[in-house]
Amino acid sequence: MERINAFLSLGLPEIAALFAPFETSLTVLGVTPLSESMGNSGYAVETDAGKFFLKIYSNATDGTEAASYAYWRDRLRVPQLFYHDGSKSAFPYAYTIAEWVPGVPLVRFVREQGKFPPELARQAGWMCGLLHTRQYPHDALLDERLNAAGDLPRWREKLTVLLNGRPGSRLKAKTVEALRAFVRDNPALLDRLEERSVFCHGDFSSANLMCADGELTLIDFEWAYAGSPYTDIGHFFRRRDDDAAALPDSGVYDAFADGYNAASDVPLPAGWLALARLCDVSALLCLLNYEHAPVAWVPDIERDILRTVCGFS
């Protein structure tokens, strides 16, 4: 996976110093870098008291993630957060120490199995539906108490800004025009995307669901915000050639919807998957808004955008 921010390499003594405020009597025995994330830096840390996960934040997203773990801890399966230091006083980056979650990412499990078990799709749908029971009056960034802390533009407004900015400049002119025409010609459809604002995980993907013994644990809440419920669903079922999202069939989609509807206050409507994929277009464009976004991303994102828009023709 291409990274957006450089991985922060630390040695055992430096990591031991980060653990000292958490537990002075603890001895760090070994560390393993975990560089799968696109943005932050992570380490598996072995100690005389067990194994932990150390996360070092490249962006100011630690407060929202810490608050999310605290809020959802008693409601669904998420890691326990043991320590959070966002002060950047003794160390130039915010960091957290959390319990080590056993298992493998759902994406890897599905790849190895060569199929997407419907029961896991149902669990993922239930988690997603439960997240969306926390509602907000409008789309917004969230503060460290998960309250709305700054208005965000509606989907169509956000799309216009992205098309007028760096993402639009990286797409072919015909793709930009196709998107502009779609927005102009489908106001009622876009109204459906913007009907509700709920707690969104922000990166609800099979890479952030850990699978062990048939149970899923949801991790990485750093991008949580208030937005359309279709955002998380679109991300989960984002089309990829080499990913769990390439394997689902109608049984998997039905199982996800069953799980979602069992937890959510508002059941998914007919055509929910197409709406979710449409909502994901803005998230795809956001990936191209990073200054150092890999050039190799562009054709795949462009293909997915056109396929989604053409699907409503």
Position 209 pLDDT exceeds 70: yes
Question: Do residues 134 and 196 lie in contact, with contact meaning Cβ atoms separated by under 8 Å?
Answer: no
> What domains does the chain contain, in order, with CATH numbers?
12-99 (3.30.200.20), 104-310 (3.90.1200.10)
Of residues 158 and 313, the one with the higher pLDDT is 158
Global pTM reads 0.94
At 114-131, the pLDDT tens digits run 999 999 999 999 999 999
CA distance 8 to 287: 21
At 180-193, the pLDDT tens digits run 999 999 999 999 99
CA distance 183 to 201: 25
CA distance 282 to 215: 31
**Buried/exposed code over 14-27 (b: 16+ C-beta within 10 A; e: otherwise):** ebbebbeebeeebe
Position 84 pLDDT exceeds 80: yes
Question: Do residues 222 and 62 lie in contact, with contact meaning Cβ atoms separated by under 8 Å?
Answer: yes
pLDDT bin (cut points 50, 70, 90) of residue 245 is: low
At 10-22, the pLDDT tens digits run 999 999 999 999 9
CA distance 309 to 252: 23
**Buried/exposed code over 176-209 (b: 16+ C-beta within 10 A; e: otherwise):** bebbeebbeeeeeebebbbebbbbbbbbbbbbbb
